């Protein structure tokens, strides 16, 4: 029987994962004060405390490369045949963002690299594609990077839900962190709740419709999972939700409660909010940042135990939903209480609201193709150094 194989088939999943975020952070209390908004609307109404904001020399590539560099320092690159980069804030219409990461990290030439897009669902699409590749060739490993900068117009309803973050995951056979169950629940319905036409830096959003479409996705993907013989809700130690903002996870849990006819409010069910409420929306990375949060903070005071089964709901506007489940492996317990992600969030540089607004405006007024040299701002190990003739040049420290 090949490595990682069992009577259920090949065991495939997330062997290890790492989170990265941007250089700057903006306090939502300060944003509320500046806007004349009651801070409780952001802190309680949306469930958000802070938002990560990129320096001018940062983007989805630099943040994604940061997460992957830290991950690969632990796992090595042996056996990695594929890099899938999931993003909806890609920086080129043709060239995959992962190609710059491939060069920055000095990855082997004998690999394939591609970009995956379906709004915030892209990370899950990449994870599922990676799992399929590994199931076909269990000796191979796939690097998945979900990385996004969530940007909305100044003074728009979406503004306090901005953020920036990346999660890099190594997908392998016999995974140490989370083994994916072979069955998942899916739901697709074309809807105009959130979209970003070519040439636009900011998404167009029908906020109310996006909340309704998300909740339809929770219900329909759960019912699909149940119809396919997925685990009952009683067998899940924790349920994670894609978190455009923290309150959305609570709404998702409430909808699921009404579908299964059982109150699911309880310790840990919305675990992951501790990270997302400080990082803001990280689109494709968001639900996997919540997973990292669950692993680090555990369920309430309790760390996860090997063999615990967890579920997570992935949603991408437009819209595609998927409910996945998996079993926690032995490495999960070692991450509990490490404080690693909290330290990264604490390390961000505070940006005052006037300075944030100036950077936001300047970014919006600079066409992508404008030739420019970018002064070093980020303390991250990778940065965008130059744009010349529309081509981007990144550098490492
Ligand atoms: N104190 C406490 N709570 C308050 C409050 C106050 N002073 N003022 C408002 N709230 C609550 C509201 O009751 C509401 O809670 P509820 O959803 O439980 O009813 C919440 O804060 C948001 O208020 P609302 O007026 O609905 O917000 P909004 O119109 O400014 O926009 C979004 C909210 C989510 C639509 C907006 O942030 C957005 O467009 N985000 C981007 C799209 C997105 O993330 N969609 C999610 C699915 S992908």
Q: How far is the CA of 46 from the centre of ligand 1 (A)?
A: 6
Q: How far is the CA of 196 from the centre of ligand 1 (A)?
A: 21
31/71 same-domain check? yes
Pocket of ligand 1, candidates 35, 46, 314: which has the most ligand atoms within 8 Å of its Cβ, to mutate? Answer: 46
25/161 same-domain check? yes
Question: Quick one: which atom of ligand 1 is closest to the CA of 152?
Answer: 41
Per-position b or e across 227-236, b if 16+ CB within 10 A of its CB: eeebbebeeb
Using DSSP bridges, classify how beta strands 12-21 and 382-388 pair: parallel, antiparallel or unpaired.
unpaired
109/27 same-domain check? yes
Cβ 44 under 6 angstroms from ligand 1: yes
* Whole-number Å distance between alpha carbons of 289 and 306: 20
H or E segment at 28?
A: helix 28-35
39: which residues sit within 8 A by CB, 6+ positions away? 28, 29, 32, 33
Cβ 75 under 6 angstroms from ligand 1: no
Of 335, 358, 375, the position where a domain reaches its end is 335
Domain that holds residue 316: 179-335
Using DSSP bridges, classify how beta strands 163-173 and 178-180 pair: parallel, antiparallel or unpaired.
unpaired
Q: Whose CA is nearest to atom 17 of ligand 1?
A: 45
Q: Which CATH number fits the domain that encloses residue 281?
A: 3.40.47.10
pLDDT at 266: 65
349: which residues sit within 8 A by CB, 6+ positions away? 23, 24, 25, 379
Cβ 244 under 6 angstroms from ligand 1: yes
Of 317, 335, 353, the position where a domain reaches its end is 335
pLDDT at 5: 54
136/227 same-domain check? no
Positions annotated as catalytic residues are 88, 120, 242
Cβ 211 under 6 angstroms from ligand 1: yes
Per-residue pLDDT of the chain (397 residues), as tens digits, is 445 555 557 899 999 999 999 999 999 999 999 999 999 999 999 999 999 999 999 999 999 999 999 999 999 999 999 999 999 999 999 999 999 999 999 999 999 999 999 999 999 999 999 999 999 999 999 999 999 999 999 999 999 999 999 999 999 999 999 999 999 999 999 999 999 999 899 999 999 999 999 999 999 999 999 999 999 999 999 999 999 999 999 999 999 999 999 988 764 555 567 889 999 999 999 999 999 999 888 877 677 889 999 999 999 999 999 999 999 999 988 777 777 899 999 999 999 999 999 999 999 998 889 999 999 999 999 999 999 999 999 999 8
Q: Whose CA is nearest to atom 9 of ligand 1?
A: 41
Half-sphere exposure of 68 (CA within 13 A, CB side): 29
Q: Whose CA is nearest to atom 11 of ligand 1?
A: 45
Residue 169 lies in a domain: yes
Per-position b or e across 358-378, b if 16+ CB within 10 A of its CB: ebbeeeeeeeeeeeeebeebb
Structural domain count of the chain: 2
25/104 same-domain check? yes
165/185 same-domain check? no
Cβ 205 under 6 angstroms from ligand 1: yes
Token representation of residue 316:
């991408």
Token representation of residue 169:
């995951």
- Our CA dihedral for 217, 218, 221, 225, rounded to 10 degrees, sits at 180
Q: Whose CA is nearest to atom 42 of ligand 1?
A: 207
Question: Quick one: which atom of ligand 1 is closest to the CA of 194?
Answer: 42
Residue 5 lies in a domain: no
Q: How far is the CA of 277 from the centre of ligand 1 (A)?
A: 14
pLDDT at 1: 45
Pocket of ligand 1, candidates 35, 38, 39, 41: which has the most ligand atoms within 8 Å of its Cβ, to mutate? Answer: 41
pLDDT at 335: 77
Q: How far is the CA of 289 from the centre of ligand 1 (A)?
A: 22
H or E segment at 347?
A: none
290/384 same-domain check? no
Pocket of ligand 1, candidates 207, 254, 276: which has the most ligand atoms within 8 Å of its Cβ, to mutate? Answer: 207
Nearest CA to 311 out of 272, 285, 274 is that of 272
Residue 2 lies in a domain: no
Residue 304: strand, helix, or coil: coil
65/198 same-domain check? no
Residue 6 lies in a domain: no
Using DSSP bridges, classify how beta strands 185-188 and 50-53 pair: parallel, antiparallel or unpaired.
unpaired
Vertex 274: Cα angle to 270 and 276 (nearest 5): 90
DSSP string, 46-66: I---EEEE--TT--HHHHHHH
* Whole-number Å distance between alpha carbons of 313 and 253: 10
Cβ 321 under 6 angstroms from ligand 1: no
Residue 185 lies in a domain: yes
Residue 65 lies in a domain: yes
113/248 same-domain check? no
Residue 4 lies in a domain: no
Q: Where are the beta strands (DSSP E) in the chain?
A: 5-6, 9-10, 12-21, 24-27, 50-53, 80-86, 112-116, 141-150, 163-173, 178-180, 185-188, 194-195, 204-205, 238-241, 309-316, 320-328, 349-350, 372-373, 382-388, 391-396
162/201 same-domain check? no
pLDDT at 10: 86
308/322 same-domain check? yes
Question: Quick one: which atom of ligand 1 is closest to the CA of 251?
Answer: 18
Give the pTM: 0.96
Q: Whose CA is nearest to atom 28 of ligand 1?
A: 157
Of 306, 335, 364, the position where a domain reaches its end is 335
Q: Whose CA is nearest to atom 13 of ligand 1?
A: 45
142/229 same-domain check? no
DSSP string, 168-216: EEEEEES-SSEEEPS--EEEE----SEE--TT-SS-EE-HHHHHHHHHH
Cβ 214 under 6 angstroms from ligand 1: yes
Q: How far is the CA of 248 from the centre of ligand 1 (A)?
A: 9
Per-position b or e across 71-86, b if 16+ CB within 10 A of its CB: bbeebeeebbbbbbbb
Residue 3 lies in a domain: no
């Amino acid at each position: 029987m090949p490595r990682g194989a069992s009577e259920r088939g090949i065991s495939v999943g997330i062997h290890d994962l790492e989170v990265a975020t941007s250089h700057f952070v903006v306090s939502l209390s300060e944003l509320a004060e500046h806007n004349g908004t009651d801070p409780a609307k952001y802190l309680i109404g949306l469930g958000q405390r802070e938002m990560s904001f990129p320096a001018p020399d940062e983007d989805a590539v630099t943040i994604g490369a940061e997460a992957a560099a830290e991950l690969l320092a632990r796992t090595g690159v042996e056996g990695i045949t594929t890099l899938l980069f999931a993003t909806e804030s890609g920086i080129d219409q043709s060239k995959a963002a992962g190609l710059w990461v491939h060069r920055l990290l000095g990855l082997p030439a004998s690999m394939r690299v591609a970009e995956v897009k379906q709004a915030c669902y892209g990370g899950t699409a990449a994870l599922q594609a990676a799992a399929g590749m590994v199931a076909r060739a269990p000796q191979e490993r796939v690097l998945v990077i979900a990385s996004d900068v969530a940007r909305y117009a100044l003074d728009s309803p979406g503004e306090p839900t901005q953020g920036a973050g990346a999660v890099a995951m190594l997908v392998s056979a016999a995974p140490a962190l989370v083994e994916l169950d072979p069955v998942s629940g899916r739901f697709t319905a074309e809807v105009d709740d959130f979209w970003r036409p070519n040439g636009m830096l900011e998404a167009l959003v029908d906020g109310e419709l996006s909340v309704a479409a998300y909740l339809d996705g929770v219900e329909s993907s759960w019912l699909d999972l149940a119809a396919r013989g997925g685990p009952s809700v009683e067998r899940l130690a924790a349920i994670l939700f894609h978190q455009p903002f923290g309150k959305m996870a609570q709404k998702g849990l409430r909808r699921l409660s009404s579908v299964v006819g059982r109150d699911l409010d309880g310790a840990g069910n919305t675990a992951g909010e501790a990270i997302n409420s400080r990082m803001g929306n990280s689109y494709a990375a968001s639900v996997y940042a919540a997973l990292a949060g669950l692993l680090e903070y555990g369920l309430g005071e309790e760390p996860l135990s090997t063999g615990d089964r967890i579920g997570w709901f992935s949603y991408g506007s437009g819209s595609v939903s998927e409910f996945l489940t998996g079993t926690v492996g032995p490495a999960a317990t070692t991450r509990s209480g490490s404080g690693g992600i909290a330290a990264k969030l604490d390390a961000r540089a505070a940006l005052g609201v006037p300075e944030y607004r100036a950077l936001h405006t300047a970014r919006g007024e600079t066409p992508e193709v404008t030739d420019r040299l970018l002064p070093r701002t980020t303390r991250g190990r990778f940065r965008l150094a130059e744009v010349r003739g529309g081509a981007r040049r990144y550098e490492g420290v």
